[in-house]
Amino acid sequence: MSLTELPPLPYDYSALEPYIDAETMTIHHTKHHATYVNNVKGALEKFPELKDLGLVDLNKAVGTEKIPKEVATVIRNNGGGHYNHSFFWKVMGKPGDNNGPSADLKAAIDSSFGSLDEMKSKFNAAAAGRFGSGWAWLISKNGGGLEITSTANQDNPLQAIVEDKGIPILGLDVWEHAYYLKYRNLRPAYISAWWNVVNWEQVNANFEAAKKGAVPI
């Protein structure tokens, strides 16, 4: 994944209708995500040595001395935004295109939460309860279990600066720009509808990668 190029969506802007509208997807991708990429590019022009890190390692370096103080905030906000959105686009897809969690992921969910429904309930609560802007995550912990967490703004579980670290398996953007055109202030309605476009095939692949210690992008 390029640090300085906006990745294309893996589907048309209208592919997630009626749950996420085409106008929101167009603005979200071509304006918001593009801005994060452009801001990262500007920071890397000042500190080109950071290009060698790549997007995943750049995020892991947030909150450490690897990131110069002069661009620490820019990298945290925009490097985080670039990774989060690159991840987010892939865990969504056309409604009805896949079959849900794999047997292995379902077993891990059952072990950590009791059931898929209970996992969804806790995930929804984390997403709805995030004050202001941020994300909800299903992550794989170093010990092998799954955990639900949330982060503010464009932070993510890869970053050294966050409290609950792990490898992202699934993530949901709960910034207002992700849902306001269609759902207005009804964030819980957006969260509920979003499950209809979760790309479980990608989530399954993310889980398999995480079991090997690999970070999906």
pLDDT in tens, 50-82: 999 999 999 999 999 999 999 999 999 999 999
Q: What is the mean pLDDT of residues 159-175?
A: 98
Q: Is the model's pLDDT at 1 over the cut of 80?
A: no
In this predicted model, what pLDDT tens digit does every residue of 74-118 receive, in sequence order?
A: 999 999 999 999 999 999 999 987 789 999 999 999 999 999 999
Nearest to 157, CA basis, from 92, 72, 215:
215
Per-residue pLDDT at 214 exceeds 90: yes
pLDDT at 217: 78
Give me 198's structure tokens.
């979760």
Residue-level pLDDT at 98: 79
Question: In 10 A of CB 190, how many CB atoms?
Answer: 24
Tokens of 211: 């079991």
Whole-number Å distance between alpha carbons of 24 and 79: 22
pTM of the model: 0.97
Average pLDDT of the segment spanning 155-166: 97
Per-residue model confidence (pLDDT) at position 186: 98
Q: Which helix (H) or strand (E) holds 45?
A: helix 34-46
For residue 86, which of 145, 158, 20 has the smallest C-alpha distance? 158
- Position 196 confidence tier, pLDDT thresholds 50, 70, 90: very high
Count CB neighbours of 104 within 10 A.
12
CA max distance for the chain: 49
- Return phi, psi of residue 171, to 5°: -145, 150
Q: Judge whether 156 and 123 are in contact, CB under 8 Å.
A: no
Contact 131, 125 (CB under 8 A): no
Residue 29 labeled ligand binder: no
By three-state DSSP, how is residue 162 classified? coil
Match 């479980």 to its residue by tokens: 200
85 annotated among ligand-binding-site residues: yes
Query: Distances from the Cα of 75 to the Cαs of 46, 64, 113, 122, 162, in angstroms?
Result: 12, 12, 34, 30, 14
Q: At what angle do helices 80-90 and 34-46 cross, to 10 degrees?
A: 140
Do the beta carbons of residue 131 and residue 155 sit within 8 Å?
no
Q: Average of pLDDT values for 124-144?
A: 95
Indicate the domain borders of the chain.
20-217
Taken as a whole, the chain contains a residue count of 217
What is the tens place of the pLDDT at every residue in 12-24? 999 999 999 999 9
Q: Which residues contact 11 (CB under 8 A, 6 or more apart)?
A: 93, 94
- Quick one: tokens of 100? 């849900």
Give residue 96's pLDDT.
85
Class level of CATH domain 20-217: alpha beta
**Segment among 53-57, 93-97, 131-135, 188-192 with least mean pLDDT:** 93-97
